[in-house]
Amino acid sequence: MSVLVYTESEGGKFKKTAFEVASYAKEVATILGTTVTAVSINGGDSSELGSYGVDKVLQVTNDKLATFNAKAYANTIKQAVEKDGAEVVVVSSTTDSKFLAPLLSVHLNAGYASNVVALPESASPFKVKRTAFTNKAFNITEISTDVKVIGLSNNAFGLRENSGSAEAEVFEPSLVDADFDIEVTAVDKATDKVSIADAEIVVSGGRGLKGPENWAMIEELADVLGAATACSKPVSDMGWRPHGEHVGQTGKPVASNLYIAIGVSGAIQHLAGINASKVKVVINNDPEAPFFKAADYGVVGDAFEVVPKLIEKLKEFKSNNA
């Protein structure tokens, strides 16, 4: 028995979510009194996973798996689960993992709980806390199948370093042509910047910024903080920003550690997508803006005065602490 974790990578490097799911799996394994095995498909350096509590890495190196393929990846992970006798499988909530997790669950006859935000409430029966209604509520889900698949919400648990080391083992799954009958034929990245899903910090702008010409300061603030940029729905609808940046109920969900909303009113549809973020900071010139009720910190002021001063202070702080 083990806890098995699928550690995603890109370009031969593990994604941040890989370390988060490993951190989570380690804690689950401690509760269950067992070890953590990772499946790495053309991934990074196994020792990195050891630093987040992984005991063993099943390393798959296969050119046919160079780009994501839900069926082939799900079959690979299924075989790893069977080889390792894993009872709990942890994946992240990236688009890829959300694609493969239901396939994997069918292969394993397993119950799947998506959007999990905390460690199991109890191990027997196995109960986990999940978000519901676009992050406006939580539910407790009990999984009673022998194998359980957990989809951990991105940034819900965070990274927990560990002093362990991981043993690497070559793993060669047996894959057939039918595993490759859905194929990603091209990947067209919207941007090379930090993605909203991977970002620890997100700087978001709303209609209060008046026009696309004023986004330079949003981008500068994001650069100083190493953050991703986001926006409200009307901003992307009007073409001020790309649709990939639209967050909220009908856009991307954000579960960053810090979410800075500038000139965004805080409509319920916007808040639905960012509720899972840990610390929310609002800059708005209307003290009655609804966002202030949802915020941890708020600045009542004109964005065009506040943001340049914030950038200046952050630059000063960084150069004093370099």
Question: How far apart (Å, rounded) are the C-alpha atoms in residues 138 and 117?
Answer: 9
Q: How far is the CB of 316 from ligand FAD (least distance, A)?
A: 23
Tell me if 196 contacts ligand FAD by CB under 6 A.
no
Q: Is 253 in the site for ligand FAD (CB under 6 A)?
A: no
Pairing of strands 13-14, 9-10: antiparallel
CB of 230 to ligand FAD, least distance (A): 9
Between 44 and 206, name the residue whose CB sits nearer to ligand FAD: 206
Among 45, 119, 249, 292, binds ligand FAD (CB under 6 A): 249
Residue in 43, 208, 253, 298 binding ligand FAD, rule: CB under 6 A: 208
For residues 258, 259, 261, 266, the Cα torsion angle rounded to the nearest 10 degrees is -130
Does the footprint of ligand FAD cover residue 217 (CB under 6 A)?
A: no
Angle, in degrees to the nearest 10, between helices 303-320 and 216-225? 30
Report the half-sphere exposure of 270 (CA within 13 A, side-chain side): 29
CB of 314 to ligand FAD, least distance (A): 18
Partner residues linked to 68 by β-bridges: none
Our CB check for ligand FAD shows the closer of 193 and 207 to be: 207
Tell whether residue 237 is a contact of ligand FAD (CB under 6 A). no
Binding-site member from 235, 255, 294, 295 for ligand FAD (CB under 6 A): 235
- 233-241 contacts: CB < 8 A, separation 24 or more? 233/269, 233/270, 234/206, 234/207, 235/205, 235/206, 235/207, 235/209, 239/212, 240/209, 240/211, 240/212, 240/215, 241/205, 241/212, 241/215
Binding mask 292-311 for ligand FAD (x = CB under 6 A): ----------xxx-------
Compute the least distance from the CB of residue 315 to ligand FAD, in Å: 21
For residues 212 and 234, which CB has a smaller minimum distance to ligand FAD in the complex?
Answer: 234
Q: Determine if 275 is a binding residue for ligand FAD (CB under 6 A).
A: no
Indicate whether 232 belongs to the interface with ligand FAD (CB under 6 A). Answer: yes
User: Residue 205: which of 270, 154, 269, 277 has the closest Cα?
Assistant: 270
Under rule CB under 6 A, residue 121 binds ligand FAD:
no
State the chain's maximal CA–CA distance in angstroms: 61
Comparing CB distances to ligand FAD, the nearer of 56 and 246 is 246
Give yes or no for residue 214 binding ligand FAD (CB under 6 A): no
4 touches 38 (CB < 8 A): yes
**Applying CB under 6 A, which part among 74-82, 125-133, 194-202, 264-272 lies near ligand FAD?**
264-272
Residues contacting ligand FAD: total by CB under 6 A: 26
What stretches of 183-250 adopt beta strand conformation (E)? Answer: 201-205, 228-231
Instruction: State how far the Cα of 61 lies from the Cα of 220, in Å rounded to an integer.
Output: 39
In the chain, the amino acid numbered 241 is R
Structure tokens at 178: 């039918």
Phi, psi angle pair for 83, to nearest 5°? -60, -40
- Contacting residue, 2, 75, 265, 275, with ligand FAD by CB under 6 A: 265
Residue 233 sits in the site that holds ligand FAD (CB under 6 A):
yes
- Binding residues vs ligand FAD (CB under 6 A): 206-208, 232-235, 248-251, 263-265, 267, 269-270, 273, 283-286, 289, 302-304
